[in-house]
């Protein structure tokens, strides 16, 4: 579904059209398997909303050069997961490339630390230290990570105090 969306999105695609795309691509499977425990939601948050993928974009908003975010939320057999992917419709500017690479470095710091015995607060501290070093503290809007399972946001969280 994410691949189908990214394959069909273009500049000026409307949020509502991209939100409806999964129903066109896998509509029969969704209809045949839909229940309170089986749901799929997929959409694209244009650059004006991409800084906070947990917001709700205006359905009439359109995709632009980026950064845009594809947001997919799955509930299958009572379990949940989410997948968010940042993408550009055109070559990013040098500044956008820099920020994207900073985000990926912060992500890799987090992933490299995830192992038994490492406290969640240690992970967030290391990621925050990197972001502070990069002078990005005013841009911190979310913890480095959270658990998935019965809900797409649940404990444990990778945050200070945990």
Identify the band that residue 139 occupies on the pLDDT scale cut at 50, 70 and 90. Answer: low
The mean per-residue pLDDT over the stretch 125-137 comes to 89
pLDDT for the residue numbered 57? 86
pLDDT for the residue numbered 126? 92
Whether the pLDDT of residue 4 is over 80: the answer is no
CA dihedral for 132, 135, 138, 143, sign (positive or negative): negative
Whether the pLDDT of residue 159 is over 80: the answer is no
Q: Check: CB of residue 126 under 8 Å from CB of residue 158.
A: no
Q: Please give the model's pTM, rounded to 2 decimal places.
A: 0.76
Whether the pLDDT of residue 151 is over 70: the answer is no
Whether the pLDDT of residue 75 is over 50: the answer is yes
Identify the band that residue 155 occupies on the pLDDT scale cut at 50, 70 and 90. Answer: low
pLDDT for the residue numbered 114? 87
Q: What does DSSP assign to residue 14?
A: B
Residues 137, 131: Cα–Cα separation, whole Å = 6
Residues 85, 9: Cα–Cα separation, whole Å = 13
Strand 39-45 to strand 68-76: parallel, antiparallel, or no bridges (unpaired)? antiparallel
Give the residue with greater pLDDT, 135 vs 26.
Answer: 135
Helices (H) and strands (E) in the chain, counts: 4, 5
Q: Per residue in 32-46, pLDDT tens?
A: 766 666 777 788 889
Run of H or E residues at 4? helix 2-8
What are the residue boundaries of the structural domains of the chain, listed by start?
1-90, 92-162
Neighbours of 114 (CB within 10 A): 12
**What is the secondary structure of 16-77 as a DSSP string?**
HHHHHHHHHHHHHHHHHH-SSS-EEEEEEE-TTTTT-TTS---TT-B--SS-EEEEEEEEET
pLDDT for the residue numbered 35? 65
Tokens 């409307």 belong to which residue? 14
Q: State the chain's mean pLDDT as an integer.
A: 80
Residues 33, 92: Cα–Cα separation, whole Å = 39
Whether the pLDDT of residue 162 is over 50: the answer is no
């Amino acid at each position: 579904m994410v691949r189908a969306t990214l394959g069909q999105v273009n500049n000026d695609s409307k949020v509502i059209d991209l939100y409806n795309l999964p129903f066109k691509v896998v509509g029969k499977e969704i209809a045949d398997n839909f229940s309170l425990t089986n749901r799929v939601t997929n959409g694209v948050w244009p650059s004006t909303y991409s800084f906070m993928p947990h917001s709700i974009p205006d359905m009439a908003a359109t995709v632009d050069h980026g950064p845009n975010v594809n947001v997919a939320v799955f509930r299958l057999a009572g379990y949940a997961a989410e997948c968010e992917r940042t993408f550009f419709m055109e070559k990013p500017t040098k500044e956008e490339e820099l920020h994207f690479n900073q985000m990926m470095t912060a992500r890799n710091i987090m992933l490299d630390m995830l192992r038994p015995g490492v406290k969640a607060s240690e992970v967030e501290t290391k990621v925050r230290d990197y972001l502070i070093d990069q002078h990005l503290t005013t841009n911190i809007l979310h913890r480095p990570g959270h658990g998935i399972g019965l809900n797409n946001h649940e404990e444990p969280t990778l945050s200070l105090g945990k």
